Amino acid sequence: MCWRFWPLITDNGARGKRLAKVYKIGVVSQRTGVSPSTLRLWEEAYGLLVPARTAGGTRLYSDADLQRVRDIRSLVHDRGYSLRAIADILDIPSTVLPEGREAGLHAVNRRLVHAGTAWEAAVALVHGIKALTSLPTASLGLYSPHTSSLSFIATSTPNGTERFGRPPLPIAGFPASWQRAIEERKSYASADLSSLALPGAISARVVQDHTRSFHAEPLTISSRLVGVLVIGSPRVGGIGEQARELCERLAVPAGPAIQYFAAQL
């Protein structure tokens, strides 16, 4: 361990000194169980850590850095997040979202990764995307590889949040373009659902939810499909660019979060 002095302006304006703890990489490794080589990888390859440096280049980690290391380790080992996904959650800025929505997005991300139950994760996701996009409808569909279907386990509407209650939708009944998108783990959408010839079950849900346009974002872990996040609007062409980006950004933490709780859902 070593110590570092930071300048401090006292109440009377005098310049003082405050002693702040900092730790060398070996101490951080001992306290967190993460090897020095892994700590360097997280810093250099993914930008997940930004330790201070001495004039000679020695890394110095703060207490906040130690907690960040523990959080990252938990996300990797306990929740199955990839380092790239963690980098997206924690650090990558948006070129489209205004500052307020960026902060809101990170708040939803935090609720997702710290959810204690399946229902908490599902509600965090559908409530979060609905609030961020100001759209009236958001749904979370869980993918079953055995039946090749989507079971919408949580749907948030202006009337509240519906939990389960709807039968699975076979993907074979979807329009061909939607099926291809799901196979390729890509988003799919429609600016005007009334222009499509939809199967009865899907058409009934569109009418029930008063949806005219929608966007669906796949939730994945690597290339494995976990589910889909769907947002809907009662207006033709009602899903804008920011809403689509929000869905895409939330899909990064949502895939591992939902998969982690899949056995409970």
Q: How far is Cα 21 from Cα 3, in angstroms, rounded to an integer?
A: 5
Which pLDDT belongs to residue 265?
A: 62
Read off the pLDDT of residues 159-192 as tens digits, 9 standing for 90 and up: 888 787 678 999 999 999 999 999 999 999 999 9
Q: E strands, the chain, where?
A: 2-9, 15-22, 52-53, 59-60, 137-144, 149-157, 160-163, 169-170, 188-190, 213-221, 224-233
Which pLDDT belongs to residue 10?
A: 34
Q: Which two tokens stand for residue 36?
A: 């020095």
For the chain, which domains are there?
2-76 (1.10.1660.10), 88-264 (3.30.450.40)
Indicate the Cα dihedral angle 259, 262, 264, 265, nearest 10°: 120
- The answer to whether the Cα torsion of 47, 37, 114, 67 is positive or negative is negative
Helix axes 83-90, 241-260, angle to 10 degrees: 130
Which pLDDT belongs to residue 136?
A: 94
Residues 6+ apart with CB under 8 A from 139: 126, 152, 154, 155, 156, 229, 230, 232
pLDDT tens, residue order, the chain (265 aa): 444 433 333 334 444 444 568 999 999 999 999 999 999 999 998 888 999 999 999 999 999 899 889 988 988 887 778 887 787 666 544 444 556 777 788 888 878 877 888 888 899 999 999 999 999 999 999 999 999 999 999 999 888 887 876 789 999 999 999 999 999 999 999 999 999 988 888 888 888 888 999 999 999 987 889 999 999 999 999 999 999 999 998 888 888 888 877 766 6
